Structure 1
């Protein structure tokens, strides 16, 4: 009975020691076995691991791709037009020993702080070497690749691999927005005024061309009318002359009849003449013809 009483605590202690010497590494993580701060074992594959109880400790690190949104950063491109930039980085721990030596007991929190500084420095260096139009353009992939490559080289000493860096926002500082919008509005108003001026000038040219064309057409029409009228008058005079040459009396008679028809129209002007005027010569003749007919 005394042996059982003695062996039971020993077995419990031995079991506890055995259990404390075993650790499990998940497939989403990596682990270091440390002894008094020194790395004794690197565990990168998932499964069971063993350590010396009470002397060695296990430090676990995330093996997945991690994200890091950087703090807003104000940069100055080549044209001295200040911009506020936000970025988003994807990174992963690839060298556990270097990572441990670089960040110490701070782990991932310290790594994020140092990586944030590295990425911000890379953003300043790359964006400071190009004009603001390149930063604000739709295709910024070459710039983001340059930032990623620069940050990758700097972060390698931390045991970190920077997989990607993306610029999520590139805007003007708030204090510059109003001035920029005012400048853009003034520029658009100037362009609109130029367009209106050019349109007015073109309209004036069109009106001048149309007026000149109207004058030319009217003058040509008057010219043709005068020519036709002159030709018609000449033809009429020729006919009158021919008629007169054939029978002067009959010609005078017909012209008198035309004169009577015109002078005796209703509402015509009054005619004042002597009773023995030539006007009444054919008039008396016509009256005599009418009396004879009666």
Structure 2
């Protein structure tokens, strides 16, 4: 009975000691076995692992790709137009031993603080480089800039045991105090462009009007010339007919011309004339042979 009483606590202690020496490494993490702060083992494969109870401890680190949002900073490109920029990065712990040696007990929080400083430093360096303007940053060329930021940050982050997978710029805006001035400059540029377009339009309209006026003048000139030609030909034909009629019957021609004279003299309200009764104008009102007697 005494043996059973003694063995039971020993068995419990043995079971507890055995269980405390076992730990499980998840497939999403890596683990370090520390003894008095010194690294004794690295567990990167998932499964069961062992440690010395009480003396050794296990520190776990996430093996997945993590994200980090940087603080908003101001950068000054080569054209001296300041921009407000922030970014986010994707990273993972590539070397847990180096990571532990670099950040110590600070863990992931200390690592992210140092990585954020590295990213901000590289953002300022790349975006502030020569021949990098604000237009370049705001255009599709920013993809190349983000690649440069990622590569340079990756080289520096290796000392922390980190691998920078990707870096993306989220916000690239003008500072609030510069927005109004920028909008005013953009408005002035658009107004200048509009004035140039209006001036070019007026110039084109004047050319069109001048061409139209010249075309009208030329058309009228040709029409008047053709009309004068037709009129001259008609007058010549008329005179030829008159001459032919006069030659065929001089008396009838004289009679016809007198009728025309009467018609022209007595048009409208002008129906009164003062002249002597023996005027030749009234020869054909006197008798039917007046014209023959005159001859």
Whole-angstrom CA distance in 1 between matches of 2:56 and 2:104:
16
CA positional deviation for 1:139 = 4.1
Within a 5 Å distance, the mapping from 1:20-99 to structure 2 comes to: 20-99=20-99
SS at match of 1:85: strand
CA distance in 2, matches of 1:50, 1:217: 108
For residues 215 and 271 of structure 2, the distance between their equivalents in structure 1, rounded to whole angstroms, comes to 43
1:163-178 correspondence runs (5 A): 163-178=165-180
Q: CA deviation at 1:198?
A: 0.8
What is the root-mean-square deviation in Å for CA atoms of aligned residues? 1.9
TM-score by length of 2: 0.91
Alignment match, 1:104: 104
**Counterpart of 2:139?**
137
- What is the rounded CA distance, in whole Å, between the counterparts of 1:179 and 1:265 in structure 2? 81
Q: How does 1:1-294 map to 2 (within 5 A)?
A: 1-129=1-129, 130-264=132-266, 267-286=269-288
Secondary structure of the 1:87 match is strand
Q: Please state whether the residue corresponding to 1:208 is helix, strand or coil.
A: helix
Q: Distance in 2 between matches of 1:253 and 1:92?
A: 125
* Cα distance in 2 between the residues matched to 1:257 and 1:13: 156
Worse-superposed segment, 101-110 or 238-247: 238-247
Partners of 2:11 and 2:249 lie apart in 1 by 168
Q: Which moved more, 1:82-91 or 1:190-199?
A: 82-91
Mapped to 1, the partners of 2:256 and 2:86 lie a distance apart of: 108
Instruction: Give the Cα–Cα distance (whole angstroms) in 1 for the partners of residues 196 and 98 of structure 2.
Output: 64
Matched residue SS, 1:27: coil
TM-score, length of structure 1 as denominator length:
0.92
Q: Gaps (5+ residues) in structure 1?
A: 289-294
Q: Secondary structure at the match of 1:77?
A: coil
Judge which range, 19-28 or 271-280, deviates more.
271-280
Shift of 1:259: 2.9
Task: Provide the C-alpha distance between the structure 1 equivalents of 2:275 and 2:135, rounded to a whole number of angstroms.
Answer: 100
Cα displacement (A) at 1:274: 1.6
In the aligned structure 2, how far is the partner of 1:58 from the partner of 1:75?
43
List structure 1 runs of 4+ shifted beyond 4 angstroms: 261-266
Counterparts of 1:260 and 1:285, CA distance in 2: 16
Structure 1 residue 266: Cα displacement: 6.2
Moved more, 12-21 or 97-106: 12-21
The SS at the match of 2:57 is strand
Shift of 1:267: 3.5
Relative to 1, partners in 2 of residues 1:75 and 1:265: Cα closer, same or farther, differing over 3 Å?
closer
C-alpha separation in 2, matches of 1:2 and 1:243: 173
1:88-146 deviation digits (Å, cap 9, x = unpaired): 11111111110001000011111111111111111111111222222110242221111
Extract unaligned runs of 5+ from structure 2: 291-295
2:23 partner SS: strand
Distance 1:65 1:266, change over 3 A: closer
